[in-house]
A = this chain, B = another copy of it.
Amino acid sequence: MEKVSYEVLFAEFRRVLDKHGFPLERSQFCARIFADNTRDGINSHGINRFPGFIDYVQRGLIDPSVDPLLEDAYGAFERWNGATGAGIVNAVHCMERAIALAHEFGIGCTALRNTNHWMRAGTYGLQAADAGCIGICWTNTQVLMPPWGGKTPKLGNNPLVLCMPRPEGHLLLDMAMSQFSLGRMMISAKAGDPLPVPGGFDEAGELTRDPAAIVHTKRSLPIGYWKGSGLSLLLDCIVSALSGGRASFQIGSGPDETDVSQVFMAIDLAKTSAGNAGTVVEAILADVRSAEPVSPGRSVTVPGEQTAKRRQTSQEIGIPVDPEILMRVRSL
Give complex CA distance A280, B248 in Å. Answer: 11
How far is the CB of A279 from the nearest CB of chain B, in Å?
9
How far is the CB of A57 from the nearest CB of chain B, in Å?
27
Are B175 and A293 in contact, CB atoms less than 8 angstroms apart? no
Give complex CA distance A146, B294 in Å. Answer: 10
B-contact 0/1 string along A267-304, CB 8 Å cutoff: 10101111111001101100110111111001111110
Which residues of chain B are near A105, meaning CB under 8 Å?
A: 74-77, 105
A99 contacts partner chain B, Cβ-Cβ < 8 Å = no
Copy number of this protein in the oligomer? 2
Number of chain A interface residues as a range: 35 or more
Which residues of chain B are near A65, meaning CB under 8 Å?
A: none
Candidate in A72, A76, A249 with the most chain B CB atoms within 10 angstroms: A76
Please judge, given known A-B contacts A134-B241, A175-B230, A238-B134, whether A152 and B291 are in contact too, CB under 8 Å. Answer: yes
Are B151 and A231 in contact, CB atoms less than 8 angstroms apart? no
Which residues of chain B are near A244, meaning CB under 8 Å?
A: 273-276
Stretch at the interface among A12-20, A87-95, A106-114, A317-325: A106-114
- Which residue of the partner chain, among B77, B107, B235, B292, contacts A109 with CB atoms under 8 Å? B107
Are B237 and A300 in contact, CB atoms less than 8 angstroms apart? no
Give complex CA distance A113, B302 in Å. Answer: 25
A29 contacts partner chain B, Cβ-Cβ < 8 Å = no
Q: In residues 212-227 of chain A, which contact B (Cβ within 8 Å)?
A: 223-225, 227
Q: Provide the main secondary structure of the chain A interface.
A: mixed
How far is the CB of A39 from the nearest CB of chain B, in Å?
22
Are B205 and A288 in contact, CB atoms less than 8 angstroms apart? no
How far is the CB of A296 from the nearest CB of chain B, in Å?
10
Which residues of chain B are near A276, meaning CB under 8 Å?
A: 241, 244
Which residues of chain B are near A100, meaning CB under 8 Å?
A: none
Q: In residues 97-142 of chain A, which contact B (Cβ within 8 Å)?
A: 104-109, 111, 113, 134
A69 contacts partner chain B, Cβ-Cβ < 8 Å = no
Name 10 extra pairs, CB < 8 A, besides A109-B267, A151-B294.
Answer: A75-B76, A77-B105, A106-B109, A107-B107, A151-B293, A155-B288, A179-B227, A223-B225, A230-B303, A244-B275
